[in-house]
Chain A
Amino acid sequence: KAGVTQTPRYLIKTRGQQVTLSCSPISGHRSVSWYQQTPGQGLQFLFEYFSETQRNKGNFPGRFSGRQFSNSRSEMNVSTLELGDSALYLCASRSEAGAYNEQFFGPGTRLTVL
């Protein structure tokens, strides 16, 4: 099976702009989670989608939003970018079938805000 894919891999934006990141989960996985990773804050949970519904949400401002489509692909949007939004954004998927529900990460999108 192909792994989790994320596009684009690298992105450079300026303050005030908005950005949309895309994630395609492993085939058959219906849960998609998004994380922000920075050297200072580590891996921070943004939100999780399951069957097109946001099921969990972390402590991020409303500028961070997401959605999931019927094919389980997910997008994350950040509006009015700030310098502090520079980070590696990771998407992860899990199957929800069976007891284990391992979560697998994509390669990430490296966002730089200038």
Chain B
Amino acid sequence: QQPVQSPQAVILREGEDAVINCSSSKALYSVHWYRQKHGEAPVFLMILLKGGEQKGHDKISASFNEKKQQSSLYLTASQLSYSGTYFCGTERGSARQLTFGSGTQLTVLP
């Protein structure tokens, strides 16, 4: 089942903060975050595991609330290069199959 991302789009000024949410109705094993710029492939940002471990980009942080099956990606002091579409991918159990949300389009203006 596809995770739900919110908001669908956000526009902010350079230096502002943003939060992107990803929620699932099913119990998750892991959540993966990617950023995709127009015409390019998705780039890996973060992975969060059930149990609290996480690994990823050193300038982007994220959380995973296992009780709510919700993950949030925190973009602080955003830069122009942060513009793009952010996808969360969720994994249930050991299936090793990522199901992606519909994406959040982030635009950072100077």
Count of B interface residues, CB-CB < 8 Å: 23
CB distance from A75 to the nearest CB of B (A): 18
Count of A interface residues, CB-CB < 8 Å: 24
- CB-CB under 8 A for A107 and B40, given A42-B103, A100-B49: yes
- Count A-B pairs with CB separation below 8 Å: 57
Tell me which residues across on chain A come within 8 A of B30, comparing CB atoms. Answer: 101
A107 touches B41 (CB 8 A): yes
- Distance in angstroms between the alpha carbons of A108 and B42 in the assembled complex: 10
Residue of B nearest to A110 (CB): B39
Within 8 A of B (CB), among A92-114: 94, 96, 99-108
Please report whether the interface of chain A is mostly helix, strand, loop or mixed according to DSSP: strand
Whether a CB of chain B sits under 8 angstroms from the CB of A33 is: yes
- Distance in angstroms between the alpha carbons of A55 and B34 in the assembled complex: 23
Tell me which residues across on chain A come within 8 A of B60, comparing CB atoms. Answer: none
A102 touches B32 (CB 8 A): yes
B32 touches A103 (CB 8 A): yes
B98 touches A100 (CB 8 A): no
A35, A55, A100: which has the most chain B beta carbons within 10 Å? A100
Residues of B within 8 A of A (CB): 30, 32, 34, 40-44, 47, 49, 53, 55, 87, 89, 95-103
